[in-house]
């Protein structure tokens, strides 16, 4: 599967950024990425690793996004999400090592973005984080822990700033 992701990445690199969405969905499904109906993945988006990736129906993936999935992990993007350019999803991390090499043994944690979310440009979502349904993550934020549903979150690390409950 990982080798076909490399082929899919290569072919998609040469396609127009915001065209041929059906062909991109086909290539990604052949590469083991679960892609829902009417998903639009823009160009220069890359899928690394051999973990599971699921992108829900009618979701928009902006140009230059990166999906870093490690073995045994899942990156799950819900239905009706909007992911701005250059957003990164990263499942891999490390245990703390000794002073001679601080990054110790590597391992992976799932990433979950629930339905209806909007992730601003250059957001990073790290493993073990969940973005609750209907939430908006401001540009440049780093999501390292759970964000409640219907919440505006911003900052490094991302923190809730406003609730959209009832909206």
**Residue-wise DSSP of the chain:** -HHHHHHHHHHHHHS-TTS-HHHHHHHHHHTTEEE-TT-EEPTT-EEEESSEEEE-TT-EE-TT-EEEE-TT-EEEE-TT-EE-TT-EEE-EEEEE--TT-SEEEEEE--EEE-TT-EE-TT-EEETTEEE-TT-EE-TT-EE-S-B-TTEEEETTTTEEEEE-TT-
Q: Are 112 and 73 spatial neighbours (Cβ–Cβ below 8 Å)?
A: no
Beta partners for residue 67, in sequence order: 47, 89
Q: Is 94 a catalytic residue?
A: yes
Structure-token pair, residue 94:
């490390």
Query: Exactly one of 1, 6, 71, 94 is catalytic; which is it?
Result: 94
Provide the annotated active-site residues.
94
């Amino acid at each position: 599967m990982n080798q076909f992701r490399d082929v899919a990445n290569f072919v998609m690199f040469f396609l127009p950024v915001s065209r041929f969405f059906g062909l991109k969905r086909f290539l990604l499904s052949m590469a083991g990425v679960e892609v829902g109906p009417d998903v639009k993945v823009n160009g220069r988006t890359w899928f690394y690793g051999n973990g599971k990736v699921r992108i829900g129906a009618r979701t928009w993936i902006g140009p230059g996004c990166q999906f870093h999935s490690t073995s045994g992990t899942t990156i799950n993007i819900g239905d009706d999400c909007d992911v701005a350019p250059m957003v990164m999803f990263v499942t891999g991390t490390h245990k703390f090592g000794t002073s001679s090499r601080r990054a110790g043994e590597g391992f992976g944690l799932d990433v979950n973005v629930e339905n209806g979310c909007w992730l601003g440009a250059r957001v990073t979502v790290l493993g073990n984080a969940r973005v609750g349904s209907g939430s908006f993550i401001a540009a440049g934020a780093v999501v390292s822990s759970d964000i409640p549903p219907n919440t505006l979150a911003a900052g490094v690390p991302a923190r809730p700033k406003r609730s959209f409950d009832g909206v």
